[in-house]
Each structure stands twice: as structure tokens, then as C-alpha cells.
């Protein structure tokens, strides 16, 4: 490993540096809070001549994804960034990018969806996009936002995968807060990511190919979707391989399921994103008092790390699944639904309880974390999962 640079940086700035080091052929983007700093910083890198990227300031997020699709189909290494309503504005094109098997990398600074209007972080935007065919990586902190973004390029462009990847980070909490970060050498990044060599670029006139074809005859559409499913299924192995390769270069460990205290934990919290750090802090304090508690943080959400999660939760009695998004009308919020489905066929599965927290950037305090661990005692003693969704950290209608 070559010399590294230690700096105080935000998640947004670290992703901008990741883009700079990868030096994509095309970045098409539209600024939207809390993602704006990513493309703002990267635009400056372009203006200063630090990259050779064709930077396209489009008029909307729909156009940003349209331009990214066109660039990627033409054979370019393409990247973009968005958040919240911007991601929602891309909705139809998210399916197009995945269905055309285009390895676009997109940073998404997770933010609440209107209404009411809110610019702060939760996972409502990305959970609404979970079935669009994109691989989804989640960062707990700014360092992981950087690492995940670099890993995303390597995974997306693998010939066995060729799927777009979202590098997600919690709006304002991870996107804006300054942390101690390590920026690896440009040369190490370029060697790790490698040169992108598209297999069927649209502009290769010597070897003509078709993209985005009409598939309304027989079962051609279903065949394409089956191939997309197989690519997503094999992506987890490639995520692990790329993550482990980057870990060898940097010394920073990579796990698709990050565990704390799971060697003997009876009560465990499962979360994604920045909330895991809050729960880990409280879990340390409780373990010093002799309580057998633990925390699981999913760094990969799509493809869902089923076997890794089952292995991590072996022997656990009670499980709290913390969702930063709701799925209105469903019996469980998105992450809890995935976790419960994963554990359904496990013989000695833990009893579970689903919490929704932090919508619109609402605080997740240490007192709330303690409350969750405390309430899990009753779940562990009964051995029965609690039905429904439990909101935490909000005022009731009567209190409001």
C-alpha cells in the first residue's frame, strides 16, 4: 500500500474523492440536498483538470439517469449521484438501467420523501427502490461511504454481474458530518478498480449490438429477467471478493454483515447505516454490566445476505429490527420483512420485534437504544415475536 492521506472529511466529500480517483468517462448529475456536495466537489475537480471526465450538468434527475444510461450503453464508465425526490424522479429509469445490465454507479444520500417536506435523512427513498434491480451498499460512516463507492465500480463492471450499484449514506448524519477518514493513494485505487472494458458497447460499429430491445414475443422478457435475477444472486460473492481485496490493500476489514458481541449475545439489534454505531455504543455499556447483547449492521442490502445473517444470528433469543422507513399497509417495515423472511425456515429462530425510528432525521438517542434492549428482555422471555410495527422517538397524536 502506498502512502495514504488522513483528513477530516464528510461522506459526501469522500465519495467525490472516490469519483475523482476512479475518473469515470461520464458523470451526469443534478444537485439535490443532501447530495449536492458530491457533484459540487466533483465539478471542481473537473474544472481544475484533475480528471478527464465529461461532466454533464443536466436539468433534472430524470435526465441525469437518462444520460448515464446512454453513456454506459455507449461503453463509457458512468457515475451519478442523487437523493430523495431525485431518486424518485429517476424511478422508471432505475429499472431500465438494471434491465439493460448497465454498470452505473450512483451515490444516494438517503433522505425522506415528501410530504410533508423534509430534507433530512431516512431510508424511505432507497427502500422504495429496493426492487428495481440495483445492488445496494450502505455505509455506517464516511470511511465506508468511500470504500463502498470504490468497491461498487469493481462489482458493477464484473462480467458476471453487470448491474448498477447504489452507494448509500445517511443524509446529513453521514453525508455532512466531519470524521477522521483515510484517503488511499490514487495509484492504489486505479489498480484496484482497473480499466473498464465493455463487452458490447453501442458505439462499436465493427461489432454492432442492440440495446433496450422490444421483448414482447414469447417469453423473451421473462428470460431477460431471469438472467437479471441470476446476476443479482451471484453478485454477493463478487461483493465479498472485491471487499476482501480492498481490505487487503487498506487494512480496513470488510464484512457484508458486521457483528458486535455475537459470540454470546441473547438480545440483538439489526440495523443498517449510521444507527448501528449508536446501538453499538450502548451495547458496549450494557455488556460491561454483564448483559448479553449485540448488534448486527448490514453493509449490503441488495442482494440480501441471507446465509451470512442466519449464521450471525445463530443462538440469539430475541431480535429487534430497526427500520428507518415504513412500508404502509404491510405487517412489517422493509428491513424487518426481509429479516423475518430470512429466518422463517430456521428451526431455532429468534423472536423478533420491529421498530421504526428516525424518520425525517428524527434523533436516535442513547436512551432510545437502551429502551429497545430493555424491551427485548420480555421478547426473549416469552420466546414469541411481537406483531406489528412499533414507532419509537415520536410524539403520539394525542401528545401533538
Rounded Cα–Cα distance for residues 323 and 353 (Å): 11
Phi, psi of 167 (to 5 degrees): -105, 105
Task: Write out pLDDT tens, residues 219-234.
Answer: 999 999 999 999 999 9
Is 103:339 a contact under the CB 8 Å cutoff?
no
pLDDT at 42 exceeding the cut of 90: yes
Q: Where are the alpha helices (DSSP H) in 48-115?
A: 61-74, 84-89, 91-99
For 76, phi then psi, to 5°, come to: -85, 150
pLDDT at residue 203 above 60? Answer: yes
CA–CA distance, 397 with 399 (Å, rounded to integer): 5
Instruction: Band the pLDDT of 216: cuts 50, 70, 90.
Output: confident
* Average pLDDT for the chain: 96
pLDDT given for residue 241 in this prediction: 98
**In whole angstroms, what is the distance from residue 99 CA to residue 39 CA?**
26
pLDDT at 399: 59
What pLDDT does 217 receive? 81
- Residue 243: phi and psi, rounded to 5, are -65, -40
pLDDT in tens, 82-119: 999 999 999 999 999 999 999 999 999 999 999 999 99
CB-based contact 98:46 (threshold 8 Å) = no
**Which H helix or E strand runs over 293?**
strand 293-298
Q: What is the CA radius of gyration of the chain?
A: 21
Higher-pLDDT residue of 395, 171: 171
350: its cell numbers: 429468534
Q: Percentage of the chain surpassing pLDDT 90?
A: 94
pLDDT tens figures, 53-92: 999 999 999 999 999 999 999 999 999 999 999 999 999 9
Which band of pLDDT confidence, cut at 50, 70 and 90, is reported for residue 398?
A: low
Amino acid at each position: 500500500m502506498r502512502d495514504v492521506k488522513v483528513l477530516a472529511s464528510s461522506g459526501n466529500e469522500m465519495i467525490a474523492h472516490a469519483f475523482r480517483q476512479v475518473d469515470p468517462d461520464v458523470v451526469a448529475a443534478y444537485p439535490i440536498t443532501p447530495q449536492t456536495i458530491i457533484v459540487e466537489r466533483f465539478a471542481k475537480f473537473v474544472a481544475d483538470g484533475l480528471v478527464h471526465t465529461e461532466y454533464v450538468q443536466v436539468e433534472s434527475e430524470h435526465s441525469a439517469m437518462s444520460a448515464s444510461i446512454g453513456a454506459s450503453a455507449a461503453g463509457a464508465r458512468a457515475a451519478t449521484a442523487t437523493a430523495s425526490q431525485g431518486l424518485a424522479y429517476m424511478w422508471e429509469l432505475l429499472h431500465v438501467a438494471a434491465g439493460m445490465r448497465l454498470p452505473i454507479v450512483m451515490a444516494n444520500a438517503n433522505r425522506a420523501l415528501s410530504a410533508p417536506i423534509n430534507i433530512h435523512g431516512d431510508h424511505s427513498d432507497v427502500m422504495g427502490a429496493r426492487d428495481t434491480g440495483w445492488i445496494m451498499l450502505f455505509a455506517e460512516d464516511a470511511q465506508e461511504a468511500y470504500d463502498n463507492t470504490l468497491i461498487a465500480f469493481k462489482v458493477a463492471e464484473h462480467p458476471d454481474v453487470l448491474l448498477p450499484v447504489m452507494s448509500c449514506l445517511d443524509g446529513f448524519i453521514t453525508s455532512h458530518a466531519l470524521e477522521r477518514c483515510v484517503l488511499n493513494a490514487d495509484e492504489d485505487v486505479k489498480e484496484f478498480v482497473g480499466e473498464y472494458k465493455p463487452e458490447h458497447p453501442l458505439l462499436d460499429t465493427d461489432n454492432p449490438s442492440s440495446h433496450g430491445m422490444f421483448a414482447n414475443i414469447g417469453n423473451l422478457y421473462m428470460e431477460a429477467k431471469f438472467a437479471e435475477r441470476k446476476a443479482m444472486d451471484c453478485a454477493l460473492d463478487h461483493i465479498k471478493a472485491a471487499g476482501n481485496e480492498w481490505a487487503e490493500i487498506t487494512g480496513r476489514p470488510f464484512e457484508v454483515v458486521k457483528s458486535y458481541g455475537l459470540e454470546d449475545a441473547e438480545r440483538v439489534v439489526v440495523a443498517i447505516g449510521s444507527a448501528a454505531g449508536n446501538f453499538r455504543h450502548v451495547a458496549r455499556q450494557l455488556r460491561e454490566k454483564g448483559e448479553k447483547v449485540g448488534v448486527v449492521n448490514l453493509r449490503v442490502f441488495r442482494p440480501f445476505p441471507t446465509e451470512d445473517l442466519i449464521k450471525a444470528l445463530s443462538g440469539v433469543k430475541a431480535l429487534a429490527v430497526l427500520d428507518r422507513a415504513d412500508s404502509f399497509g404491510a405487517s412489517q417495515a422493509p428491513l424487518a420483512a426481509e429479516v423475518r423472511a430470512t429466518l422463517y425456515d430456521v428451526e431455532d429462530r429468534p423472536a423478533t420485534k420491529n421498530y421504526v425510528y428516525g424518520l425525517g432525521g428524527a434523533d436516535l438517542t442513547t436512551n432510545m437504544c437502551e429502551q429497545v434492549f430493555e424491551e427485548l428482555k420480555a421478547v426473549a422471555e416469552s420466546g414469541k415475536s411481537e406483531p406489528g410495527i412499533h414507532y419509537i422517538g415520536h410524539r403520539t397524536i394525542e401528545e401533538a
